[in-house]
Chain A
Amino acid sequence: MFNWMVWTLPVAIVFIGVLVLIIGMTIWGHYSPPKIHKGFLGITTDRGDRVYISYISFAFFMICWIAFVEGALYVGVGLGIALAAVILKWG
């Protein structure tokens, strides 16, 4: 049925991860409502905003890494995750 979507394992993991993330954030938000704070980004965000910002920052960082560094992909992934974590914590 889904043969036409030419599934691969990495893509499946990413999308299931996003789904779990959204559902998890919803349940978490129900039991402990998110607090708004203002970090180094200079805008007021709650944790959902920061998850989104760190997610697209990671994606954009990876594109830049692939475009300008050309290689050492795992170093790039590590740095990208570090960047996302910094935004999540102090953004």
Chain B
Amino acid sequence: MKTRNNKAWFLVLPVILVVAFTALLPLMTVANYAIQDVFNPQSRIFVGMKWFYQITNDQLIISAFKRSFQFSIQALLIQIPLGIAIARIMPKSGWRASAALVAVSVPLIIPWNVIGSTWLIFSRSDIGLGGFLLNKLFNFDFTSDPKDGWGLILTVDVWHWTPLVVLLVYAGLRSIPQAYYQAAAIDGASSFAIFRYVELPKLRRVLLIAVLLRFMDSFMIYTEPFVITGGGPGDATTFASILLTNIAVGQFDVGRAGAYSLIFFIVIQIMSFLFYTVLTLQDREEVTKTK
């Protein structure tokens, strides 16, 4: 095997410096909070694992985590197939392709709070266009019916983030050489066979990125439920991050919030690692074969 020049890793140092201030130092602080009862930097008490015992036996927190998982899985199941479907029917070249790309990207460039406010007004059953109509047809009211609240947040997330999947998949599709399609046409392959045996294997890498990004973002979803439902009705949309913010900023209970954040962090780490491993399994097999 060709030996790689690992000196390029030094070029990563500036990023590490930036990440140190935006992620590592806060993470260290959170880890310190998690094992103390902090009133202020001068008066604090070491409490050991107390917060972890409280967190792992708190039904509110456990159900919030379950809700987040459920939401992420639903979001992935809708957004990935929908994104692939839209990317496949988008125009391939010319001004139509540019127009379609711009149209698709619009939700991505709108600030998150604005998206929340827009959907909040749009969905209100008294003054919102969509909400009023749905209310007349199906008795839709996201402020009182937990199912409607959940469905609304899921819809907003799909509207907001499917474009990201579309853009990634579209870029992936454009990078497949025409020769593959010509070979498939010579063999008389059906449209589904082309998708299954040509496009899907070539898309594996972009889908890996799409699934990872979408899982993490939907698992940590905060802005949309905060702006639209505030975690309600009841606690139907109180996702893990909403509850975390309530504990950390609302109750200012930084010790519990610190322990909670560390557990949250490990769950994200494990899920990302599992996705990454499963989706790169084939590459790893190939690496071993060449040895």
| Pair B270/A60 contact, Cβ less than 8 Å | yes
Q: Does A66 contact B (CB under 8 A)?
A: yes
Q: Does A56 contact B (CB under 8 A)?
A: yes
| Pair B35/A11 contact, Cβ less than 8 Å | yes
| Pair B57/A67 contact, Cβ less than 8 Å | yes
Contacts of A14 in B (CB 8 A): 31
Instruction: List B residues at the A interface (Cβ < 8 Å).
Output: 6, 25, 28-29, 31-33, 35-36, 38, 41, 44, 46, 49, 52-53, 56-57, 263, 266, 269-270, 273, 277, 281, 284-285, 287-288, 291
Known: A3-B41, A14-B31. 9 other contacts (CB 8 A): A5-B29, A5-B32, A6-B38, A6-B41, A11-B32, A36-B287, A36-B288, A43-B284, A52-B273
Q: Mark contacts of A4-16 with chain B using CB atoms, 8 A cut-off: 1 yes-contact digit, 0 otherwise.
A: 1111101100110
Contacts of A63 in B (CB 8 A): 52, 56, 263, 266
B6 to chain A, nearest CB (A): 8
Q: Mark contacts of A33-62 with chain B using CB atoms, 8 A cut-off: 1 yes-contact digit, 0 otherwise.
A: 000101000011000000011001001100
| Pair A56/B53 contact, Cβ less than 8 Å | no
| Pair A5/B25 contact, Cβ less than 8 Å | yes
- Chain A contact patch, size range: 20 to 34
Known: A43-B281, A43-B284, A59-B266. A6 touches B25 (CB 8 A): no
Residue with the highest number of chain B CB atoms closer than 10 Å, among A4, A15, A60, A66: A66
Contacts of A73 in B (CB 8 A): 49
Known: A6-B36, A11-B31, A11-B32. A60 touches B288 (CB 8 A): no
21 A-B pairs with C-beta separation under 8 A: A5-B32, A6-B32, A6-B33, A6-B38, A11-B28, A11-B32, A11-B35, A15-B28, A15-B31, A36-B287, A36-B288, A43-B281, A44-B285, A52-B273, A53-B273, A59-B266, A63-B56, A63-B266, A66-B53, A66-B56, A73-B49
